[in-house]
Amino acid sequence: MAKLQKSIDKRNALVKATIELVNNNGFHATPMSKIAKMANVSPATIYLYFENKQDLVNQTYIEVKAKYTNYAFKDFDTTLPIEAGFEHIWKRIADFKLKDSEHAMFLAQCDNTPMIDEESRKEGIKHLQPLLDLWERGKKEGIIKPISDYLLYAYSINPLSFLMITQKRGAFKLDKTHLEEAYQSAWSSIKVCK
Amino acid sequence: MAKLQKSIDKRNALVKATIELVNNNGFHATPMSKIAKMANVSPATIYLYFENKQDLVNQTYIEVKAKYTNYAFKDFDTTLPIEAGFEHIWKRIADFKLKDSEHAMFLAQCDNTPMIDEESRKEGIKHLQPLLDLWERGKKEGIIKPISDYLLYAYSINPLSFLMITQKRGAFKLDKTHLEEAYQSAWSSIKVCK
DNA sequence: AAAAAAAGAATGAACATTCACTTTTTTATA
DNA sequence: TATAAAAAAGTGAATGTTCATTCTTTTTTT
């Protein structure tokens, strides 16, 4: 138990260090030695927990992605009406992206780079189902536009990544008002408009 | 003249090779030696045209960004009504992102990575002014939502990057119909809705 | 005392950049 | 216009560094 405990702590420290360094320097400039130093561990120790650097990054990605989707769909009530259900999920995702920007930033970087194995990427996408189901239902009820899920995602969810990155760069700050405006834009873009 | 000609060819070949390799392998896995090989040039020659790797990447970024905005605003008529003007720009941007996906992909990767100097990044943003002017006018006329330009961009333009990447990964194909749907979503998200 | 975990130092490969030399182009002179 | 000296462009092979990974030894746990 003590042994396991200790191990998990080190593993977590390594994952945390990876996220932090990749966020600040990019994958191309985060050597194993720095990861080890930041996690207070010898470089050799990393290899007790991970096969190699790629494995470390893949596992980190999968872990962060899971944290993201868990947060997004926590307490989601599938019986909610479409708009309320969407608003709930949207606001939780917004919350995650803007408050936990360390993790969100890491995901954004992974999602736009050939840094992650295709396999791990697929692993990470799996958990979006509840949102897809909601959209499916919304299309049937004539509330959501009958268009590809990729389009719905691109317009209603993905903009949050851009806003998060922009905010992180200090170009502007997303406050409560902006957030409500953003939500309205997201909803306008996918709802059926008369 | 002959001399200049030759130089520009090599320089272009280097820039082109950089784009291609960074697209396929990521910045972290494109060594100068490969860039040189792909451009049919000795590694040492790169340093006749660029200070170092960072400089090569920065210059490539600025060049591609300029190509993008030039394309987007070519023949733009500032006297067009708001919606028609927006549609024109939007469709040109869509055209660029989907048809010239090599360049668009490179920009997407640069925009989400600490791969580019902050200075070069600023250099690249400068040329978006015509769109911002259009929005300004649209807000005054009560046609465009009176919200931050960052929000307008996030919802009406940025989704195209996501769609381009998704398409590049082979997950789905953006055809004519999708494109019209995408435009409608973009416009719905920023227009004032009664 | 044996096994597991961890460490620091070593290894070898890959890399960005520079060096010393060669080829090509330009310029100046006849 | 032809030619030779000078300059520029280009090269392949070093150079020194950085890095991922492994090896050997030490420390901790069982």
Q: What is the pLDDT of residues B2-26, one digit of tens each?
A: 345 568 999 999 999 999 999 999 9
Of B28, B145, B184, the CB nearest to A27: B28
What average pLDDT is seen over chain A?
93
pLDDT at position B179, please?
97
- Alpha carbons B119 and A162: distance in angstroms, whole number: 19
Q: Predicted confidence band at B126 (pLDDT cuts at 50, 70, 90)?
A: confident
Taking residues A115-133, what's their average pLDDT? 90
- Alpha carbons A18 and A56: distance in angstroms, whole number: 8
Least confident among A139-153, A156-170, B141-155: A156-170
Check if A111 contacts B (Cβ < 8 Å): yes
Q: Predicted confidence band at A194 (pLDDT cuts at 50, 70, 90)?
A: low
pLDDT at position A5, please?
54
Chain A residue closest in CA terms to B186 = A189
At residue A122, does pLDDT exceed 90? no
Q: Is there a contact between A115 and B26 if contact means CB atoms under 8 Å apart? A: yes
pLDDT at position A169, please?
87
Q: Which nucleotide is nearest to A28 (CA to C1')?
A: D19
Tell me the torsion sign for CA atoms B9, B10, B13, B19.
negative
pTM for the model stands at 0.92
Q: Predicted confidence band at B194 (pLDDT cuts at 50, 70, 90)?
A: low
Q: Which residues on A lie below 8 Å from B145 (Cβ)?
A: 181, 184-185
pLDDT digits (tens, 9 = 90+) for A59-91: 999 999 999 999 999 999 999 999 999 999 999
The alpha carbon of residue A174 and the mean position of all alpha carbons in its chain are separated, in whole angstroms, by 18
Check if A8 contacts B (Cβ < 8 Å): no
Q: Is A76 left (phi over 0), alpha (psi -120 to 50) or beta?
A: beta
- A171 vs B85, more confident: B85
At residue B1, does pLDDT exceed 70? no
pLDDT at position B6, please?
61
Q: Is there a contact between A154 and B171 if contact means CB atoms under 8 Å apart? A: no
Residue of B111, B113, B122, B166 to mutate for A, most A C-beta atoms under 10 A? B113
CA-to-CA dists, residue B36 to B14, B45, B50, B134, B145, angstroms = 7, 8, 12, 43, 49
Q: Is there a contact between A151 and B108 if contact means CB atoms under 8 Å apart? A: no
Which residue's entry shows tokens 């920009």? B107
Check if A165 contacts B (Cβ < 8 Å): yes
pLDDT digits (tens, 9 = 90+) for A6-42: 689 999 999 999 999 999 999 889 999 999 999 999 9
Could you check: is the Cβ of residue A48 within 7 Å of any atom of nucleic acid strand C? yes
pLDDT at position B5, please?
54
